[in-house]
Structure 1
């Protein structure tokens, strides 16, 4: 699925989109009908959103539902929310902080977005990676240096810029020189010395970073000291978490910033469709998270914690019917 095909769908009349949703409802209510396709905005190849999207597509295909999930590659969170709001996709993955900005119409969004949450599915760990033998030993050492700060349209970029601002590294005599690079480009730039650090927000371990650490010793800088500043300035979605020791080489654990990830939907997606999807998500969560983040569990009390992003009515009905 290409971004061009997403754009073609976005130009469909709203009436056509609604008609597709009604057809999907009919299929899931037990009536005979064609398989309907739901486009899921994920993220770049090699990242956790992309892995989750492919796993969900496989799980739905194996479920027998008359639904096909079509993962769509994107830059990730910001991109995904914009595509979802304008009807170019039906489902999306996004980080909690970016999703809250979207529903409230805060920068980088120009107005409130019409999106709803199905579940909080897992937590992203913010990585600030440097070469083990490089010149950067602390956040202060980043002053004036080139840093890979996430691709345009990604949630990584939002978090990176907020952390750098909280650290006082975006102004002054020697601000950080931000490079808007995706994960693959960031890894290559760090390995080649084109940047002195890279930001990443994802599950643990992230395969691209594991591969980097396999060929080039790396260190991770602690970021948990900025959690309170981010919560106070932006939203309470930020939490202190710990990157386990030994994941990318160094034996010691590292404190960092955790941000939830939401599975989101258009607000006009039919309730029966949402309930069927959530049955698959909760029935196959081990498969969905296996390639995304180690040791994670998906539990209802965790899944319904979507902060300022309202749950879809179909999701509310599912949780009430199953868990009371």
Structure 2
């Protein structure tokens, strides 16, 4: 090899090294690390958990920089506490529990640092009893064993408020059984409780299965809506279990409560906007396993009452809808 050839090879090697270094620098300049957000959902088999799994899959498919890890919980109250203490970045929560969290009302000892991304759908309160049993109205629950939801769940918050406004306190109190949905269904089927109170989408799959195994009655609850609103605010609305659900021949009036997709205030605005983009693009898939016939619309989504919208959510709605 001549001296000229050796010099030429050294120059080519230096050029290749420089190009490689530049390429690496370019990658580090323009690529971003994957951001991971923990998502507090609900118990396995429940609607919050189903929503969380669906959103996890959709985000992984649609975004390159964002990943969501769903975490099973007791649901609303637990989820809000996890947001506040930093053990989760995203969560689902019922509107009444979220309102209590920002107000710092029991079971929260102080105002929680939580924000909303969107109101995503409405829960329907179900009072479920055997059709051949003695319970025909909420008043008939007095003194009876009733499954009121798991500790830390939003369903339990609604159940206890319902019983309170119905006057089922003191000597007329029910015998509460703190059970999650699966345990409540099993207990009603076995006859160890006379009723269960549940708040969820329509139809709730576990209740649809139960209705095929045991004739059920759904006593109306809409008569308690005005008292709930007077005591606790407009988070409660009158809604209707539609005919056909669970074999119902006629619609049944009941209590509606919104569900919020929540976030810690410290979640970066860009991440919040990316999550919302996926939610609005994929809402049909996300809600398919949660509640039938629901739609997600901006005017509905921004209705989060006293719970402030995350700055990233505000920016998203302004950019898309003006």
Normalised TM-score (structure 1): 0.89
Q: What is the 5 A alignment of 1:236-251?
A: 236-251=234-249
Q: What do the CA deviations read for 1:49-108 (whole angstroms, capped 9, x no partner)?
A: 011001100110110332111111000000000011000001000000000000000011
Which residue matches 1:51? 50
Q: What secondary structure does 1:284 align onto?
A: helix
Residue 256 of structure 1, aligned match among 254, 257, 260 = 254
Q: What secondary structure does 2:245 align onto?
A: coil
Q: Structure 1 stretches (4+) deviating beyond 6 angstroms? A: none
Which residue matches 2:153? 154
Normalised TM-score (structure 2): 0.90
Query: How far off is 1:119 after superposition?
Result: 0.2
Which residue matches 1:14? none
Q: What is the 5 A alignment of 1:30-179?
A: 31-172=30-171, 174-179=172-177
Which blocks of at least 5 consecutive residues in structure 1 are unaligned? 1-29
Mark the CA change 1:229 to 1:35 in structure 2 (over 3 Å): closer, same or farther: same
Q: What secondary structure does 2:198 align onto?
A: strand
The structure with the largest helix share of the pair is 2
Name which one, 1 or 2, has greater alpha-carbon Rg. 2
Which residue matches 1:204? 202
The number of equivalent residue pairs is 294
What is the CA RMSD across the aligned residues, in angstroms? 1.0
Which blocks of at least 5 consecutive residues in structure 2 are unaligned? 1-28
Query: How far off is 1:35 after superposition?
Result: 2.5
Query: How far off is 1:171 after superposition?
Result: 1.6
Query: How far off is 1:170 after superposition?
Result: 2.0
The answer (yes or no) to whether the contact 1:46–1:207 under 8 Å persists in 2 is no
Residue 306 of structure 2, aligned match among 292, 298, 308 = 308
Query: How far off is 1:33 after superposition?
Result: 3.4
The separation in 1 between residues aligned to 2:74 and 2:233, in whole angstroms, is 23
